[in-house]
Chains A and B, each alone.
Chain A
C-alpha cells in the first residue's frame, strides 16, 4: 500500500512537470516530450488494476484540461495502461505469480528498452492521430510520433540514470 501511495505521488508530480515544464520545451520548435507516461511504466503491477486504470485516465484528463485538448491524452494514456500487462507478459516473460515481485529496475536494460519503446510509440501514435483528427496530413502524424517518441524516451532514460539508484 505504501508503494501505491508513493507512485500516486510520482504521478501527480509528473503531471505538474508536464504541464508547466515539458509543455514549454520545444526541441527544434516543434517536438514536445510527453514524459508523464513514465507513470504508466513505473506503477507497480499488482491486483489493484481498477485503481491503476482510473489513475492513468485521470492523469491524462488532467493534462487534457490544461492543454485544452478534449480527451486525447486520457484516451491514449488509458490505452497503454490497459495493454501494459500484455507487454509485460510478452517481453519479461512473467506469469501472474511474479507480479507482486515485479520491478522495472531489476530487469535488464534491453528488455526495459523494448517495453518502453513499444508503449511510447503506441501512446504517441494514438495521441497525434486524435490530435490531427483527420486522414489528411498523415505523414506529419507519423513524423511527430517518431520525433516525440525519441525525445520522450531520451528524457525517460536520462531521468532514470540520474534519479534511480542501481542496486
Chain B
C-alpha cells in the first residue's frame, strides 16, 4: 500500500465525501442516542459486512473496472486512518462483536450484504470467485446466528451466466434471502438485455434484488467531483435513482412482473418525482401513441419496488413516502456500520405513525419480502 498516494486520492475526491461518514457515526454515538426500548422487533435491511477475500481483491487495484470514486473509498478501508481502524474491523466482524452491538442497540436481526461496491469493480473471474467465497462466509454466520442474521447474496453481473448459477446456489443451497447489487457494473445497468437472465433468476427464485449505491461511473461523475458530491451526500443517489428509473422505464417489469427491487435511502429520490413522471409519461403516450409500458410508471413503483430508511432518518420524508408508495413497501434499515443503529431506531420509534405501520416497517415487510424465519 502506498499511503501517500491513497491520501492524495482521498483529498482529490474531496475528503468531505467519505471521511465524515465515520466521524458522523462516531459523533452520533457520542451524542448519546439512548438504547432503544425492547418494544419492537427491529430488523435492519441494509447492513454492510466485508470479507477478507473482498478486501484482498481491493488491494489489486490494477484490475479495477470503472473506478469512479469507489477506488478511493476502497483504499480508505484498507488504510490505517482512524476511520479505517474503526470501520474495517466492524465490517469484517459478523460474529460476536457485531451481535454485542446489536444487543446494545436494540436490533433483533440484520439482513447482511457485502459492502459496496461488492465485487463489481473486479474482472469477471475474480468477481465470480470472490462473490462465491463471500457468500460462503456469509452463510456460515447466518447458520451460526439464525435468529440474528439473514443475508443477501453477492453475484458478479460481469458474467450473467455464472451470476445466475451463484444466485440459484445462494437460494436453493445456502438458503440466503435475496441479492445485493451495487448499482452499475462498468457503466452498465440492469435494464440492458445482457442482464435479463439475472432479473429472470431473481423473479424465478422469488427473492428481491437490493440495488445499493456506488459511485457514478467515470462517464458521468465529472459534475459531482467538486465539494465531495460524488459520494453519499449526493452522487450515490443520482447514480442509484437513475438506475431505478431506467428499470421503471425500460419495461423490464412487464417482462418480469414478479421481480422485486429494493432501493435504500427512501427510494433514492424516485418517490419524490412520482407525479411528474406519470404525468410526463401520460402526455408522451397521448402525443405519440405509446409510451412503451403496459401500465403507468407509478404502478410498477408500487408493485415492483420497495424502499428502505437507510441514512434518511427524516419523519417528513417517511410520511411522504408512506403516502405515495404505501407502508407495505417500506423497510427499516440503519446502514451499519456506516450509520448509527440507535439513531435509526430513535427516528422510527418516535415517528408519529400508527403502531401497526411501525411494526410493518420494522419487521413485517422484511419478513415477507426476504422470507425470514418468523
Q: Do A and B come from one complex?
A: no
Residues in chain A within 8 A of chain B (CB atoms): none
Residues in chain B within 8 A of chain A (CB atoms): none
